[in-house]
Amino acid sequence: MPRIVVDVMPKPEILDPQGKAIAGALPRLGFTGFAEVRQGKRFELTIEGDVTEEVLEHARSAATTLLSNPVIEDVTRVEVIEDAQ
Amino acid sequence: MPRIVVDVMPKPEILDPQGKAIAGALPRLGFTGFAEVRQGKRFELTIEGDVTEEVLEHARSAATTLLSNPVIEDVTRVEVIEDAQ
């Protein structure tokens, strides 16, 4: 069944404590070469039936109202994928 | 600066209560046409300098040890992107 992927990331100007914690842990575990880490969310919405413009519009609206907090987060992607990606 | 994106999703056989909650909320908000929702994580690792095979190997190792819990999650993507995507 087709799926819509929605990616949500913290806005660049917003502090991301989870990302900061990961960035601090990486070199301690021997993983060097990284300057910054940001942690966001990824949603996979499985679609009932066909990908219509209405379903896509629903996904875009849901992305900005239910799946993200527009004060602190950006929706960076709303895209149909045919299988796992 | 180049970035490496790491996507982490709950394994298909693992219950995803956040995804279930979203799937229940969607029709109540008028967003119909979705059969299932899964919520995962998306990381953006900013690279210091060039993308070398060593940095990529570090990112892959970090993805399976620090960024995901292999008991309940799958790393579905480790990929270099040039700008926001």
Q: Is the pLDDT of residue A30 over 50?
A: yes
Interface test with B, best of A32, A43, A67 (most B CBs within 10 A): A43
- Which tens digits make up the pLDDT trace of A50-72? 999 999 999 999 999 999 999 99
- Whole domain around residue B13: which residue ranges? 3-81
A11 contact partners, CB below 8 Å, separation of at least 6: A72, A73, A74
| Whole-number pLDDT of residue A83 | 64
Which of B14, B37, B64 is most worth mutating to test chain A (most A CB atoms within 10 A of its CB)? Answer: B37
pLDDT tens profile B17-63: 999 999 999 999 999 999 999 999 999 999 998 999 999 999 999 99
Number of structural domains (chain A) is 1
Average pLDDT, chain B: 94
CATH code, A58: 3.30.1280.10
| Residue positions counted in chain A | 85
Element (DSSP H or E) covering residue A44: strand A34-47
Residue A84: both structure tokens together: 């796992």
Q: Give me the residues of B, 43-72, that contact A with CB < 8 A.
A: 43-49, 52, 54-55, 58-59, 61-62, 65-67
- Per-residue pLDDT, B38: 98
To 5 degrees, how large is the angle CA B3–CA B4–CA B8? 140
User: What is the reported pLDDT for A82?
Assistant: 79
Please report residues of B whose CB lies closer than 8 A to that of A53.
Answer: none
Q: Which residues contact B35 (CB under 8 A, 6 or more apart)?
A: A1, A46, A47, A48, B23
Over residues A31-35, the mean pLDDT reads 95
Query: Residue A82: helix, strand or coil by DSSP?
Result: coil
Q: Are A25 and B66 in contact (CB under 8 A)?
A: yes
